[in-house]
Structure 1
């Protein structure tokens, strides 16, 4: 079935609710092309956008029992995607805050010399990652991280919308995580710690 073919949407959703994977594939094909541009506008990171799209359809399948009651499937799918985006932003902001917790863990788990070396290495990697950010992204990250400013405060200070600040900060955090992960074991340890928080 293609977009140009007529179909009974309610019947399709009922089949999906019963676990019909072929019917779900039809729905996936119908909405993937519409959903991707929407998510890409929300998230400036292509990798994050792909993950949000995937998670949207996973959520749709896991909650398929609710589909027969849905009257506007397009709106329903887009709402799931928007929720997934906001959850991703919250996770990114939370992960940034756990950095201090990781430093505390290092402080209590190593001898003084090793502690100093590990903390210095971690800080060096973070500084390198921040320096590699584009100027505006770096500025917003530093206002949030170093100055402790909220998204609303940064938006007012820079004359930007809160959404723009949130998107930029989200991307900055993703860039830093990617840099730390590529740096080796220490970066990966921090990444795993953050994801588990």
Structure 2
């Protein structure tokens, strides 16, 4: 194992709790966070000495953030594909129990969407239902793109929690 890999692995052991919390915030909960930390460990062990790492802590956190973001995107993509699969599936194939569960899940999400605080609800509506870009919303509302991103993230986290029944 290279000296970069040893340094990053030792740092990961020391920073594991903080990294785990950071990943959980990015993912909006505990689901998948341990998997991301394991992927960070695996990647850290494979880092060679071809380039010097000036700030190992920043490198490790950036690695964790990138892997958490990738994990979240993959999870979103997987959920979208599953939703499309069920959407286009013939009705006869869906049991009554599955229909009731899906209706309950949809109702929880709709209720949660209706109870989002302002301006989160408006920003979510403009972005996800009307299709405006975050930059367009920021200009329209006179706020920063970062503010819009934070409100969209908050809305998606709350709707995901509602969907899972939390």
- Structure number with higher helix proportion: 1
Check 1:65–1:117 CA distance in 2 against 1; reply closer, same or farther (3 A cut).
closer
Q: TM-score, normalised by structure 1?
A: 0.56
Tell me whether 1:65 sits opposite 2:46 in the alignment: yes
Residue 165 of structure 1 and its aligned partner are, at CA, apart by 1.6
Aligned to 2:65: 82
Q: Deviations over 1:6-39 (max 9, x none)?
A: xxxx74x45x39xxxxx93x423544577579x4
Check 1:110–1:166 CA distance in 2 against 1; reply closer, same or farther (3 A cut).
farther
Quote the Cα distance in structure 1 between the aligned partners of 2:103 and 2:71. Answer: 29
Aligned to 1:125: 108
Check 1:102–1:116 CA distance in 2 against 1; reply closer, same or farther (3 A cut).
same
Aligned to 2:162: 179
Q: Alignment length, in residue pairs?
A: 158
1:147 to 105, 109, 130: 130
Residue 91 of structure 1 and its aligned partner are, at CA, apart by 5.0
Q: Please give the residue correspondences for 1:153-168 in structure 2 after superposition, counting only pairs within 5 Å.
A: 153-168=136-151
Q: Deviations over 1:137-190 (max 9, x none)?
A: 21111112221111221122122222222232122112112112118xxxxxxx
Aligned partners of 1:92 and 1:174 also within 8 Å: no
Q: Deviations over 1:67-106 (max 9, x none)?
A: 5444221231132133235436645765786697367236
Aligned partners of 2:137 and 2:148 also within 8 Å: yes
Aligned partners of 1:92 and 1:170 also within 8 Å: no
